[in-house]
């Protein structure tokens, strides 16, 4: 927080309890699309936070910008999601997002700032260099396994033919081998069933992996692709319960660390209401 020397006239009185900025990938490739989420929580119930100033993205290419506002008993949450891409390799530092308001405790005009972000942009060749040797090793092992498997199969056929011929000479009738049909594949699940399964895994282990799995399943249930933005998903559905679950998933994925437990509880409750 920074005290403002200028006049506080025109500033709103806001009790700001959270202001943070997160990125879903701290290391990205050139032309790879990634997201930066800015989360603000105020204890007041407001329609929007026009005071929020997002940082200059510099050399990064803006691909989209959306703002989601949600209200709960504890006040208002605003999540601003920037969709970005980088045209050239290097290190990009995003300055903090901020907003100016009157602090109810002190009665003074203050500037509230988030953290800054450091993003490393690499070429596709550099990103894949560390994987090249393991890839060659995996290819060699695969080819070696196929060759060994083929040779073993031929040896087995020769042994069976020799066994059949020896038994025929001895007057023994050899029964034909029984061909067992492969087991049926797993049944195709509906998007709702995928959400139910992802929610069960998230309840058991509410980590980033299961969180993103549940968020992706909700996006598909809404009719949007897992790689889309919240705005894409909200545009695809008019179901109020599903829209609240989508917004809760976005807050849990990109909200501040200090509010992760509360955001996780909201996400589980909103998803259960949609599934009910």
- Per-residue pLDDT in tens (0 to 9) along the chain, 276 residues: 666 654 566 899 999 999 999 999 999 999 999 999 999 999 999 999 999 999 999 889 999 999 999 998 889 999 999 999 999 999 999 999 999 999 999 999 999 999 999 999 999 766 555 445 455 555 555 556 656 666 666 776 767 567 656 656 655 444 555 555 566 666 678 999 999 998 999 888 877 788 888 888 889 999 987 677 888 889 999 999 999 998 888 888 887 777 777 888 888 999 999 998
How wide is the angle at C-alpha 201 spanned by C-alphas 195 and 206, nearest 5°? Answer: 110
Bridge partners, residue 102, by sequence: 13, 109
The pLDDT value recorded for residue 252 is 85
For residue 107, CA distances in Å to 12, 104, 156 come to 11, 5, 87
CB 38 within 8 A of CB 52: yes
The pLDDT value recorded for residue 275 is 92
The pLDDT value recorded for residue 225 is 76
The pLDDT value recorded for residue 61 is 93
CB 195 within 8 A of CB 271: yes
* Structure token pair of residue 256: 């501040």
For residue 251, CA distances in Å to 38, 74, 88, 204, 226 come to 10, 14, 30, 20, 16
The pLDDT value recorded for residue 101 is 94
The pLDDT value recorded for residue 85 is 94
The pLDDT value recorded for residue 131 is 46
For residue 85, CA distances in Å to 32, 61, 63, 70, 255 come to 6, 5, 7, 27, 21
Bridge partners, residue 40, by sequence: 19, 78
- Adjacency order of strands within the sheet including 2-3: 2-3, 109-113, 98-102
The pLDDT value recorded for residue 27 is 93
């Amino acid at each position: 927080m920074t005290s403002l020397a200028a006049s506080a006239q025109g500033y709103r009185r806001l009790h700001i309890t959270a202001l943070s900025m997160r990125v879903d990938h701290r290391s990205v490739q050139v032309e790879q699309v990634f997201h930066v989420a800015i989360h603000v929580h105020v204890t007041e119930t407001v329609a929007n936070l026009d005071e929020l100033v997002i940082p200059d993205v510099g050399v990064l290419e803006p691909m989209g910008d959306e703002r989601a506002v949600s209200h709960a008993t504890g006040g208002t949450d605003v999540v601003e999601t920037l969709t970005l891409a980088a045209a050239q390799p290097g290190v990009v530092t995003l300055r903090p997002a901020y907003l100016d308001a009157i602090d109810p405790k002190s009665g003074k005009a203050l500037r509230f700032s988030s953290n800054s972000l450091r993003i490393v942009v690499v070429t596709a060749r550099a990103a894949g260099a560390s994987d090249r040797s393991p890839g060659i090793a995996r290819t060699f092992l695969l080819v070696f396994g196929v060759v060994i498997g083929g040779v073993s199969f031929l040896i087995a056929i020769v042994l069976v033919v020799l066994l059949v011929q020896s038994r025929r000479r001895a007057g023994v009738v050899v029964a034909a081998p029984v061909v067992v049909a492969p087991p049926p594949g797993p049944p195709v699940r509906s998007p709702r069933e995928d959400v139910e399964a992802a929610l069960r895994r998230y309840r058991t282990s509410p980590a980033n992996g299961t969180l993103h799995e549940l968020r992706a399943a909700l996006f598909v249930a809404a009719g949007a692709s897992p790689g889309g933005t919240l705005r894409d998903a909200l545009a695809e559905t008019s179901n109020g319960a599903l829209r609240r679950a989508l917004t809760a998933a976005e807050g849990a994925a990109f909200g501040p660390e200090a509010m992760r437990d509360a955001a996780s509880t909201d996400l589980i409750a909103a998803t259960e209401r949609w599934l009910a």
